[in-house]
Every structure is written in C-alpha cells, then in structure tokens.
Structure 1
Amino acid sequence: MPENSDFYPQVMQRYISQPPSPGEQTEFILALLRVFDEKIFNARDFDSFPVELIVDYIQRTHVYYLEKKLPEIEQSILLLSGHYDSQHPVLIALQNFFHRYVKDLSEHISAEEALLLPYINALREAGQTSLGFSRFLLHRREYSVDRFLSDHHDTEDELKDIRQTIRLYAPPKTNESLYRILLTQLQVFEHDLCVHAQIEEEVLIPKAQQMEKELNAQLQVLSPLN
C-alpha cells in the first residue's frame, strides 16, 4: 500500500461506514491507491474485478462527493468570501460556479443512480438467472449502454476552468492560506473525478457492453425469427 499517498484518506473515506472485507475488495482498494499514488491509470489493472465491485465503488463515490467533498468546498468558498468585496470578480465567479456545478454534478449522479447502475445490475443478473433474464428484457426496451454514452459528459474540466479563473486574482494578504486550501481542494477533487470517470468509462462500461452483447446474442438464438 502506498504509504505517502495524499489520496489514501480520500479513498478510504468511501469505506468508513462499511470497512472493506478481505479478498477482492481489499485488492481493489490497493489498485485504486496505486492509481492515485502513481497518477497512472491502466484499465487492465481492474479487468479482473467483478462488475458488482466496480458498481459498489461508483455508488460509494457518489455519496462521498455529495455528502463530503462538495460541502467541504462550499465551506471553503464561504470562508474565502468573507475576505473579498461582495462584487469582487473572483467571488462572483466562485458563487456562480459552485451553484451551477453542484446542480450539474447532482443531476449527472442522479441519472447514473436511476438508470445506468440499475441497468448494469440487470445485465449481471440476466446472466445468472432466468428471472434476471426476464427483467433484462424489460430494461432493454427503455435503456442501453449506448444511450448512456450519448447522454454522458465529463465534469472535471469545469473544475479546471474555475481553478484557472481563481488564479487570475491575487488573494488578500490576510487570507492566502484559505485561498491555497480552496485551490488544493479543487485540484484534488478534479483528479478524483478523473479517476472516477476512467474507472467508469474504461472498466465498467466495457464490461457492461460485453454483458449486453452476450445477452443480445442469446436473444438472437432464442428468437423465432432466426
């Protein structure tokens, strides 16, 4: 386990309420820590992990973002705002960014929780039981992996934009520490989102596409039209 990784507590925050059990979950966390520590992502390092483990990580991360990281950033913005004039450009940019970004990310997460992740679970169950296969037949009429990809967009680029905007303005001498803390929080969150997106797009989605392909192939075999 990387001993000096700044992201060690960030990763483990997702597993505080339900600590990882020995086995695959521990190995998955170790693989995650290597990504954060070495800043190199290789999808093949995650190929051996089952879909349900990847989905669990995605869901835990959604909760972590909404209940911990975004509130922390909001608190830093509020503290920093007390040291700027109410009409200062950086304050206006921060306020506009935060409200828009939280709304955008929340909608993004809600869509995944309501549609994508249940659909992937349906794909997994369809390959295991006849009841699961029947449920997949209902799901596929309303959703697909391709539909997710057509609606999907990344959110980490917006964090980079706001960091660059903030850097245009020198902080008050009395508040340089809060200024640096906020920039660090945004940078850490941006990197965390990037890893989240890579796991989702390069690991989870290909696994889901493969399951979908195999199930559709079974349907073709079973179809009376063949």
Structure 2
Amino acid sequence: MPENSDFYPQVMQRYQTQPPPGEQSDFIHALLRVFEEKVFNAKDFDSFPVELIVDYIQRTHVYYLEKKLPEIEQSILLLSGHYEAQHPILAALRNFFHRYVKDLSEHIQAEETLLLPYINNLCEAGHSPDRFSRFLLHRQEYSVGRFLNDHHDTEDELKDIRQTIRLYEPPATNASLYRILLLQLQVFEHDLSVHAHIEEEVLIPKAQKMEKQLDIQLQTLSPLN
C-alpha cells in the first residue's frame, strides 16, 4: 500500500480498517493510481467483485455528505466574512452551494435507495430460489437502464463555480481563504470524476452483465419456451 502517496489520506478517509484486508487493499492501490495519474482504465478494476465496488460507492457517499461538503461550506462561511455584505461573489457562492448540495444529495439518495439495492439483489439472485424471486419482483420495478436514463454527472458544476470565483479578486484581508476554497473545489471535482468513472465504467457494466445473464436464465424458465 503506497502510504507515501499524496492521495492516500484522501482515499483512506473512506475506510476504517488500518490496514485494509487483502482484496480491499488491492482495490485501494488501483484507486490511488487513478488519483495520481489522472488516467482511468476500467480494465484495472475488472477483477474486483461487484460487492467491493458497491462498498466503495457507499463509503464515498458518506465521505461526501459528512466530510467534504461540510468542509466546503465552512470555507465559504469563513471567506464570506472577508467581503462586503453585498459583494457579488457571496451571492454566487451561497446560491451555488445550496443548489449543489441539494442536487448531489438527491443524486446520492437515488443511488442509495434504488440503484445499489437493485445491484445487491442482482448479486444475490443466484444464491437461492428465494433471492431469485426477490430479484424478479425488483426487476419489474427497476433496471440499470432506468438509472442511466435518470443519471447526470455533477462535477461540471464545480468547474463552473471555480471559474466564477476567479472572476473576482481575493479579499485583501485574507487571500489564503480564497485559495483554500478554490483548492477544495478542485480536489472535490477530481474526486467526483474518479467516482463517476468507477460507477459508470466499472459498476454499471458489471451490473448490466449480471442483469443480462439473469434475464436469459428467466427466459429459459418461462413456460412459453
């Protein structure tokens, strides 16, 4: 485990175990390469089970909601104290943050209540007749395709607000807060990009493959065949 990586603390804040067990450790190592090299190759994650990918997605959701967004909010509040009350950057930041938190929270909620439970059912469907029946009921109400139709990325909005902030000069009383906020947004944007790659290029294709296999199995069981 490359603990000397600049991204090691950022990635490990999602995990409680120190050091993580074998397969999870290999997964984290692959993640760190993506964070460092800023190049994503889905094949590097082919060998990891869906359950491990889902675990990462869920841990990342908690990390965003309980750590990263509160940190950005705190920076915005601190920076606000160094501008005049009517300064346009304040309205831009506040409007952005409240809208962004709402959008990201809804995005995460949809995944936590719809997509990830559905994928868990896909994983368990082959374990017993009861679990296969549970999948069949779930399949009537949801699918990976439905998720893709409703899905949208959120990192572009961070890029937009960073560009907006740069339109204004840092406050004369504390320029470091201005730079800290820009850095936080940039780091979060990169983290979201990695998260999106893992979700869209690893988890979703794996789920679609399982879904297709189960649909084929269902067709062979149909009395019409």
TM-superposed deviation, 1:6: 2.7
Gaps of 5+ in 2: none
Q: TM-score, normalised by structure 2?
A: 0.97
With over 3 angstroms needed to count, the CA separation of the structure-2 counterparts of 1:167 and 1:5, relative to structure 1, is farther
Distance 1:210 1:58 in 2: 19
Gaps of 5+ in 1: none
Distance 1:134 1:75 in 2: 47
Asked if 2 retains the 8 angstrom alpha-carbon contact of 1:5 and 1:36, the reply is: no
Partner of 1:135: 134
With over 3 angstroms needed to count, the CA separation of the structure-2 counterparts of 1:211 and 1:101, relative to structure 1, is same
Aligned residues: 225
Distance 1:39 1:73 in 2: 23
Distance 2:144 2:30 in 1: 25
Larger CA deviation: 124-133 vs 106-115:
124-133
Distance 2:176 2:3 in 1: 26
TM-superposed deviation, 1:128: 2.2
TM-superposed deviation, 1:19: 4.1
Q: CA RMSD in A?
A: 1.1
Partner of 1:68: 67
With over 3 angstroms needed to count, the CA separation of the structure-2 counterparts of 1:20 and 1:214, relative to structure 1, is farther
Larger CA deviation: 169-178 vs 186-195:
169-178
Specify the code of the residue in structure 2 equivalent to 1:212.
Answer: E
Distance 2:214 2:19 in 1: 31
Distance 1:127 1:44 in 2: 25
With over 3 angstroms needed to count, the CA separation of the structure-2 counterparts of 1:181 and 1:109, relative to structure 1, is same
Alignment of 1:11 with 2:19, yes or no, is no
Percentage of identical aligned residues = 83
Specify the code of the residue in structure 2 equivalent to 1:77.
Answer: I
Partner of 1:99: 98
Deviations 1:57-113 (A, max 9, x none): 000000000000000000000000001112211110000000000000000000000
Asked if 2 retains the 8 angstrom alpha-carbon contact of 1:73 and 1:186, the reply is: yes
TM-superposed deviation, 1:23: 1.3
Instruction: Give runs of aligned pairs for residues 102-113 of structure 1, distance below 5 A.
Output: 102-113=101-112
The DSSP-based 3-state class of the residue aligned with 2:205 is helix
Partner of 2:148: 149
